């Protein structure tokens, strides 16, 4: 029979960060760390979508892998949901945040809506954006109200793809 529930909207399925913090506190933070020096160099991740259009050899989340479990289309979080997750993480811990997945595959309108929402929130957060293909400079810098030479940090990560 296979999988019967494959959501296309992830807004209702985001992590409950307050619950995670309670679990970490109860079980001992050191038992919940992903690597030994995580507290010295923490990083957080925010997923914007599930699914992929590529078949990279190093990824378990490739188009082929998702097709085996019945995912034919992306499951996407609204920009407001992504911003809310970033805000929740910054309330808990000041750490760089990796925005996983190339936002360009969701379309320019999605990228612009997310950039505007992040800018309006005025969060004090380092954001690391992942791109599978080159992106034009206006896209890279539109998420902040300051030009790239000023203090707000943002990093771009180019993930190699083999198609």
More confident residue, 148 or 20: 20
pLDDT the model gives residue 139: 53
Residue-wise pLDDT tens digits, 63-113: 887 788 777 788 899 999 999 999 998 888 888 999 998 999 899 899 989
Q: Are 118 and 86 in contact (CB under 8 A)?
A: yes
Query: Which of 27-41, 57-71, 83-97, 113-127 has the weakest average pLDDT?
Result: 57-71
Q: What is the pTM of this model?
A: 0.71
**Of the candidates 68, 44, 45, 46, the residue with the CA atom closest to the CA atom of residue 55:** 68
What percent of the chain is predicted at pLDDT more than 90?
17
- CATH code: domain 41-158 is 3.30.750
pLDDT the model gives residue 109: 92
Residue-wise pLDDT tens digits, 132-159: 888 766 555 554 444 444 434 555 555 5
**Of the candidates 110, 109, 102, the residue with the CA atom closest to the CA atom of residue 135:** 102
Residues paired with 62 in a beta bridge:
none
pLDDT the model gives residue 78: 96
Mean pLDDT of the chain: 79
Q: Please check the confidence at residue 27 and state whether its pLDDT lies above 70.
A: yes
User: 107-130 burial, b for 16+ CB within 10 Å, e for fewer?
Assistant: eeebbbbbbebbbeeebebbbbbb
What percent of the chain is predicted at pLDDT more than 70?
81
């Amino acid at each position: 029979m296979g999988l019967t529930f494959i959501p296309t909207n992830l807004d209702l399925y985001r992590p409950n960060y307050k619950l995670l913090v309670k679990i970490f506190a109860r079980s001992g933070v050191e038992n919940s760390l992903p690597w030994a020096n995580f507290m010295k160099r923490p990083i957080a991740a925010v997923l914007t979508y599930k699914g992929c259009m590529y078949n990279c050899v190093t990824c378990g989340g490739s188009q082929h892998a998702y097709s085996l479990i019945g995912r034919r289309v992306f499951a996407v979080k609204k920009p407001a949901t992504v911003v809310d997750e970033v805000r929740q993480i910054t309330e808990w811990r000041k750490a760089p945040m990796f925005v996983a997945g190339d936002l360009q595959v969701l379309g320019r309108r999605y990228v612009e809506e997310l950039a505007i929402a992040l800018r309006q929130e005025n969060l004090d957060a380092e954001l690391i954006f992942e791109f599978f293909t080159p992106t034009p400079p206006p896209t890279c810098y539109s998420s902040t109200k300051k030009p790239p030479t000023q203090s707000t940090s943002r990093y771009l990560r180019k993930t190699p793809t083999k198609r």
